[in-house]
């Protein structure tokens, strides 16, 4: 697949055929991802790029919808990968014409610099041939893409100018005149093509015209800009006057004039208010001569006062390039970021690559006032008393004598001054930087500070921690090494333990360390150094006490960098008292806090909470994310430090209580809306504070069980929205154990909801049986009119969870005639009750009734806008359709559920449903489609870090391989699936179905003993406490292996399973078992045995299966 942006945004297959992309939004998304091809483009940048300053209300969901459309358009030709921070189009940059163009243009420029005109022309011609219209045509009006389009057009102009230089260098001048005149009309203020035209005219014998063009250029620049031609154009003028040949290479600076920095992804470079435009440097004015200074002032030779690095520089290639570009464009750049993020190392690495004088001034040990200018003097090597300088022209005298000496020393030099660690003297550095920049036209200043200087012309570049693999990124060592934090730890670990390698054994603890330390380079280096004395696993396990653990740094490092605690101490000491109070209290928010949340939990304060938060952000203590309602987050290391300070202040318990109260209020406000049309909005709000939810629930479970009950009950729908993997079940179970079986009277309903929600997700363990009894007793005493469906139906829910098929169902009418007792105005509650009734009938072998209830429920969920309810019901309707042989209808049900899961952004639900669709596709022989769905389900499940769903995907892959006849692959997949099963209902179901599949593999391999053992294990699991449909499916597997030795028993079991399920199975394996049993017995005997089984009551059928299980074990 090839991608074009140098013209209309298009996709083309290898044969050149165009692939439809979609509407403007999809094309804009494709363009944004292509400009960052192979790189993760942050979600915020994509939303800004598509919607600008007017994003839709549910911007993240809108973006996900566009991603889904783009994936559909790509149709598997390329992958749009989800990452924790954004999306990545998994294509090689070379497949995008813009990237190929830049590579070829750069190659042409290098050849031109080397004087190889033919090679330069060839490369530039190939580069320019890639253009087929205006850059990003059709999407250039999309916010931010307009800037990218302008950038690409600028690069095209530069390539055209480079090609003209190559032609001039080769002596081909006459044909250029008309082309260059046209180019000047397109860009009348560009000096380079004017210089090229002057050279071409001169070489063509038209020197008078060349000189006239120079005079015209002077008039244009004076009229339009009030300036004179640049030094380079003046040099061309002089060469014409001297009658020098046109093939003399032009000055390098003239060739570079007008170019923009290399691509750094979509979006502009952030700059402080009042900063000069990107690409512009402050005009250099001529300066008056200055009086001579003392002989120790820097001489004309290049000075380079930078320390030589002792370790490799890892993971910052892009920031070095970007910083270098900024230093070419502007005169003051400040690197900001938290302590230990690598600001100093980035500054030094970039400075070593600069031309001209470079001076490093380390200010960490300086006091305010005159110490800062004197530290700069020392860095410049000026120690003796100077002769008093004459102030440069245009600059007023009146600065301090030391500052005047600095201005005199630097006024006529092109220098880079690196001012390192300025946050504690930020005001003094600001004043000094302003004076030096005003008085020294050739000076560029690079500052590192945890706080910006805040002066006009300052450009900020945030130095963020190294990228860390997301929690859902898997554990493949090769994949992990793509992340800079992992590479840094591995590099430093090898330095202290020569045999260290990142492999399957070490990758998990390394990932844990890098994530726990937020990717902070200094923290990672301190951690790697501890490998001298600690095993890797122990190092990872002890990071809960990171400040004690990482307390031994390099003896030669500055004191503030020798320990992790010292790094944060330095920033803490720069805060005032109210900032410290807010900072330590914010540590209770693991997901960060909005202004409102901070005021609610951490306040009150004497001043504005927003001002305090902004100040903490300015000082790199917190990071603000989001536009509409910023969320202020701390790095985990900073949060752990502040939590220690919170404990020292004796505020931990009451702040945690206030935090739990805040989270509970939010959850209770969200609960009713998680089942209506506002579902997406409220799900997004809760997802943003998921870590806060977990923290509040964990604390409440230990310290305030009553609040834990309220919170857990309010979150029941939220856990289900997050997917079927059972995350909430374990948490609700812990709450029940903490609360006991006698909740406060006003929390009886919440207690019942927690019990029901737990057992609907996981098999009841022995310690839950007392809670089941208590919940039933409490539910009987509650008013069920308008109650939550889990309260109204607690008895049948418990019966369903415990496999009590004799329990009486509620006296609700048939689905076709009337509806259960529920508030008329709450269709979501009615639909939820219908869903539960469908589950009860399905579990009792009544698929026709179940289908009616599920259909009524689906109508209710659609009417109320409850996508989750629909996602839960549609797979059950698909299951029943599959039983009846309507597999196309089953696939349609699953497809509808999948589309809803994508809308919800529920990766786990999407993974689960892809597995369900794979099963339906296998049923109709579409093994290729089943294989594709299984693989996609596995990728999503691994990305979501959902082991049971990974196991489900492996089960489906194994079943597909078995049906292909690839028994070795099937066994490998299925045994892997068996190892990943957990204790939830989903995990147990996967275990049962995987054992059944392994039994069939053993049977196909001629191992009847192994087949009986696996089918027996599966049946042993489900005979007690399971729904009849699953029991029947498992019994069909056993019947298949009984056919050879006990065909009568096999036929009877097949009949009994049909009776238990309520419908004859139509899957391939059961159909084959029926055929084999009929062949062994003959048609009449088979009908008798099968009929005898199908005539059994439920109790008799279960007893038959128990006897069959005993027989195969004898």
Rounded average pLDDT over 769-779? 89
Cis peptide before 604 (omega within 30 of 0): yes
pLDDT of residue 345: 85
Asked if residue 346 and residue 431 are part of one domain, the reply reads yes
Percentage of the chain exceeding pLDDT 90: 24
Q: pLDDT, tens digit, for every residue of 875-893?
A: 999 999 988 888 889 999 9
User: Does residue 84 lie in a domain region?
Assistant: no
C-alpha span between 677 and 1076 (Å, rounded): 52
Rounded average pLDDT over 683-694? 89
Could you tell me which of 1020, 1102, 1062 has the C-alpha nearest to residue 840? 1062
Rounded average pLDDT over 461-477? 80
Query: Are 934 and 915 in contact, with CB atoms under 8 Å apart?
Result: yes
Q: pLDDT, tens digit, for every residue of 105-151?
A: 999 989 888 888 899 999 999 999 999 888 888 786 665 677 788 88
The most distant pair of C-alpha atoms in the chain lies apart, rounded to whole Å, by 121
C-alpha span between 973 and 961 (Å, rounded): 9
| Interhelix angle 1098-1113/1028-1042, nearest 10 degrees | 40
Q: pLDDT, tens digit, for every residue of 289-347?
A: 333 333 333 333 445 557 766 677 777 888 888 898 888 888 899 998 887 788 888 88
Asked if residue 504 and residue 452 are part of one domain, the reply reads no
User: Does residue 133 lie in a domain region?
Assistant: no
C-alpha span between 732 and 738 (Å, rounded): 10
pLDDT of residue 931: 93
C-alpha span between 740 and 170 (Å, rounded): 90
Q: The domain that contains 589 carries what CATH number? A: 1.10.10.10
Q: pLDDT, tens digit, for every residue of 435-468?
A: 888 888 888 999 998 888 888 888 888 888 888 8
pTM: 0.59
Q: pLDDT, tens digit, for every residue of 1013-1072?
A: 999 999 998 887 788 889 999 999 999 989 888 999 999 999 999 999 898 888 889 989
Rounded average pLDDT over 567-571? 73
Element (H, E) at 165: helix 145-169
Range with lowest mean pLDDT among 190-199, 239-248, 1100-1109: 239-248
Asked if residue 504 and residue 421 are part of one domain, the reply reads no
Residue 948 has pLDDT above 90, yes or no: no
User: Does residue 697 lie in a domain region?
Assistant: yes
Mark which of 844, 873, 902 sits at the end of a domain.
873
What count of other Cβ atoms lies within 10 Å of the Cβ of residue 20? 9
Q: The domain that contains 348 carries what CATH number? A: 3.40.50.300
Mark which of 462, 490, 505 sits at the end of a domain.
462
Rounded average pLDDT over 558-563? 54
User: Does residue 608 lie in a domain region?
Assistant: yes
Asked if residue 861 and residue 729 are part of one domain, the reply reads yes
pLDDT of residue 563: 66
Asked if residue 512 and residue 456 are part of one domain, the reply reads no
Percentage of the chain exceeding pLDDT 70: 86
User: Does residue 991 lie in a domain region?
Assistant: no
Asked if residue 833 and residue 709 are part of one domain, the reply reads yes
- Looking at the structure of the chain, the number of domains it has is 5
Instruction: For residue 829, give both structure tokens.
Output: 């509650």
Could you tell me which of 914, 1013, 920, 1004 has the C-alpha nearest to residue 962? 1004
What is the span of the domain harbouring residue 869?
Answer: 668-873
Question: Which residues, 6 or more positions from 211, have their beta carbon under 8 angstroms from its beta carbon?
Answer: 198, 237, 240, 241
Asked if residue 423 and residue 369 are part of one domain, the reply reads yes
User: Does residue 916 lie in a domain region?
Assistant: no
Q: Annotate 936-959 with b (16+ C-beta within 10 A) or e (fewer).
A: bbbbbbbbbbbbbbbbbbbbbbbb
Asked if residue 517 and residue 451 are part of one domain, the reply reads no
Residue 711 has pLDDT above 90, yes or no: yes
Residue 267 has pLDDT above 50, yes or no: no
pLDDT of residue 661: 95
Asked if residue 523 and residue 485 are part of one domain, the reply reads yes
User: Does residue 430 lie in a domain region?
Assistant: yes
Residue 605 has pLDDT above 80, yes or no: yes
Asked if residue 770 and residue 732 are part of one domain, the reply reads yes
Residue 226: pLDDT band with limits 50, 70, 90: low
pLDDT of residue 423: 81
Asked if residue 718 and residue 841 are part of one domain, the reply reads yes
Q: pLDDT, tens digit, for every residue of 348-397?
A: 888 888 877 888 888 875 554 447 888 887 777 765 444 334 344 344 44
User: Does residue 1092 lie in a domain region?
Assistant: yes
Instruction: For residue 55, give both structure tokens.
Output: 């994003």
Range with lowest mean pLDDT among 665-674, 721-730, 815-824: 815-824
Range with lowest mean pLDDT among 265-279, 483-497, 986-1000, 1044-1058: 265-279
Asked if residue 840 and residue 697 are part of one domain, the reply reads yes
Mark which of 834, 857, 873 sits at the end of a domain.
873
């Amino acid at each position: 697949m090839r991608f074009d942006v140098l013209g209309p945004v298009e996709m083309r297959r290898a044969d050149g055929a165009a692939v439809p992309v979609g509407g403007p939004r999809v094309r804009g998304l494709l363009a944004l991802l292509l400009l960052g091809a192979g790189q993760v483009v942050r979600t915020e940048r994509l939303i800004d790029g598509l919607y600008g300053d007017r994003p839709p209300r549910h911007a993240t969901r809108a973006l996900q919808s566009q991603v889904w459309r783009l994936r559909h358009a790509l149709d598997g030709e390329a992958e749009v990968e989800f990452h924790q921070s954004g999306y990545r189009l998994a294509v090689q940059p070379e497949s995008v014409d813009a990237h190929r163009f830049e590579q070829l243009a750069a190659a042409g420029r290098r050849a031109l610099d080397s004087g190889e005109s033919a090679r330069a022309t060839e490369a530039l011609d190939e580069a320019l041939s890639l253009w087929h219209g205006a850059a990003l045509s059709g999407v250039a009006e999309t916010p931010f893409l307009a800037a990218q389009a302008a950038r690409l057009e600028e690069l095209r102009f530069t390539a055209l100018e480079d090609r003209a230089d190559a032609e001039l260098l080769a002596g081909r001048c006459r044909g250029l005149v008309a082309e260059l005149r046209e180019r000047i009309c397109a860009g009348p203020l560009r000096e380079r093509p004017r210089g090229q035209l002057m050279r071409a005219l001169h070489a063509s014998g038209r020197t008078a015209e060349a000189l006239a063009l120079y005079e015209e250029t002077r008039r244009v620049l004076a009229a339009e800009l009030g300036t004179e031609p640049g030094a380079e154009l003046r040099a061309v003028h002089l060469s014409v006057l001297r009658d020098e040949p046109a093939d003399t290479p032009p000055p390098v600076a003239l060739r570079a004039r007008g170019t923009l920095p290399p691509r750094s992804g979509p979006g502009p470079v952030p700059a402080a208010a009042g900063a000069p435009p990107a690409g512009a440097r402050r005009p250099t004015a001529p300066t008056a001569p200055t009086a001579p200074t003392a002989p120790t002032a820097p001489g004309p030779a290049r000075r380079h006062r930078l320390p030589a690095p002792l370790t490799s520089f890892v993971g910052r290639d892009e920031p070095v390039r970007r910083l270098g570009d900024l230093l070419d464009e502007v005169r003051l750049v400040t690197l900001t970021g938290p302590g230990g993020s690598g600001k100093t190392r980035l500054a030094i690495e970039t400075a070593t690559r600069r031309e001209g004088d470079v001076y490093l001034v380390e200010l960490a040990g300086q006091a305010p006032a005159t110490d800062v200018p004197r530290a700069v003097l020392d860095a410049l090597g000026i120690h003796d008393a100077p002769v008093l300088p004459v102030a440069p022209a245009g600059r007023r005298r009146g600065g301090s004598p030391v500052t005047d000496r600095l201005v005199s020393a630097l006024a006529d030099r092109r220098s880079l001054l690196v001012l390192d660690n300025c946050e504690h003297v930020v005001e003094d550095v600001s004043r000094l930087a302003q004076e030096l920049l005003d008085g020294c036209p050739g000076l560029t200043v690079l500052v590192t500070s945890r706080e910006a200087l805040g002066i006009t012309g300052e450009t900020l570049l945030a130095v963020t921690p190294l990228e860390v693999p997301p929690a859902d990124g898997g554990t493949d060592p090769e994949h992990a090494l793509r992340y800079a934090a992992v590479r840094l730890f591995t590099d430093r670990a090898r330095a202290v333990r020569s045999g260290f390698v990142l492999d399957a054994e070490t990758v998990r603890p390394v990932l844990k360390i890098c994530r726990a330390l937020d990717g902070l380079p200094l923290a990672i280096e301190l951690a790697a150094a501890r490998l001298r004395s600690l095993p890797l696993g122990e190092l990872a396990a002890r990071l809960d006490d990171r400040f004690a653990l990482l307390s031994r740094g390099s003896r030669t490092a500055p004191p503030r960098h020798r320990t992790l605690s010292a790094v944060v101490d330095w920033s803490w000491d720069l805060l005032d008292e109210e900032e410290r109070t807010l900072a330590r209290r914010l540590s209770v928010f693991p997901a960060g806090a909005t202004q409102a949340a901070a005021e609610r939990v951490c306040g009150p304060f004497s001043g504005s909470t927003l001002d305090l938060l902004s100040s903490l952000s300015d000082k790199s203590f917190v990071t603000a994310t989001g536009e509409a309602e910023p969320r202020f987050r701390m790095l985990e290391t900073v949060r752990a430090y502040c939590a220690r300070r919170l404990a020292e202040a004796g505020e931990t318990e009451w702040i945690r209580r206030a935090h739990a109260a805040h989270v509970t209020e939010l959850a209770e406000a969200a609960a009713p809306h998680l089942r209506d049309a506002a579902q997406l909005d409220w799900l997004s709000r809760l997802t943003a504070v998921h870590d806060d939810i977990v923290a509040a629930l964990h604390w409440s479970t230990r310290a305030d069980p009553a609040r834990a009950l309220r919170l857990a009950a309010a979150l029941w729908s939220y856990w289900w929205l997050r997917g079927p993997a059972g995350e909430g079940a374990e948490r609700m179970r812990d709450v029940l154990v903490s609360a006991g079986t006698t909740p406060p009277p006003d929390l009886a309903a919440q207690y019942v909801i927690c019990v029901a929600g737990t057992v609907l997700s996981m098999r009841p363990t022995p310690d839950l049986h007392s809670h089941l009894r208590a919940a039933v007793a409490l539910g009987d005493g509650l008013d069920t009119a308008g109650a939550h469906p889990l309260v109204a139906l607690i008895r049948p829910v418990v019966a369903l969870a415990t496999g009590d098929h004799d329990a009486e169902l509620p006296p609700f009418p048939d689905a076709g005639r009337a509806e259960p007792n529920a508030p008329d105005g709450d269709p979501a509650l009615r639909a939820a009750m219908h869903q539960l009734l469908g589950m009860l009938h399905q579990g009792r072998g009544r698929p026709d009734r179940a289908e009616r209830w599920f259909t009524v429920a689906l109508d209710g969920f659609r009417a109320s806008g409850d996508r989750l309810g629909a996602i839960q019901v549609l797979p059950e309707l698909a299951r029943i359709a599959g039983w009846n042989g309507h597999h196309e209808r089953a696939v349609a049900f699953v497809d509808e559920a999948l589309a809803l899961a994508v809308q919800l952004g529920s990766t786990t639900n999407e993974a689960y449903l892809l597995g369900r669709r794979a099963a339906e596709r296998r049923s109709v022989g579409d093994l290729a489609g089943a294989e594709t769905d299984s693989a996609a389900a596995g990728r999503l499940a691994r990305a979501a870090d959902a082991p049971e769903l990974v196991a489900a995907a492996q089960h489906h892959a194994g079943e597909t391989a078995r049906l292909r006849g690839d028994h070795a692959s099937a066994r490998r997949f299925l045994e892997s699936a068996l190892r990943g099963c957990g204790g939830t209902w989903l995990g147990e179901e996967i275990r049962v179905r995987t054992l059944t599949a392994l039994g069939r593999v053993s049977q196909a391999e001629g191992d009847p003993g192994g087949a009986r053992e696996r089918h027996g294990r599966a049946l042993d699991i489900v005979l007690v406490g399971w729904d009849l449909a699953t029991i029947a499916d498992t019994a069909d597997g056993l019947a298949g292996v009984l056919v050879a030795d006990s065909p009568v028993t096999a036929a009877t079991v097949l009949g009994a399973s049909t009776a238990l399920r309520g419908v004859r199975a139509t899957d391939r394996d059961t159909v084959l078992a029926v055929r084999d049993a009929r062949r062994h017995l003959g048609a009449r005997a088979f009908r008798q045995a099968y009929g005898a089984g199908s005539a059994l009551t439920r109790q008799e059928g279960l007893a038959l299966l128990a006897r069959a299980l005993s027989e195969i074990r004898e």
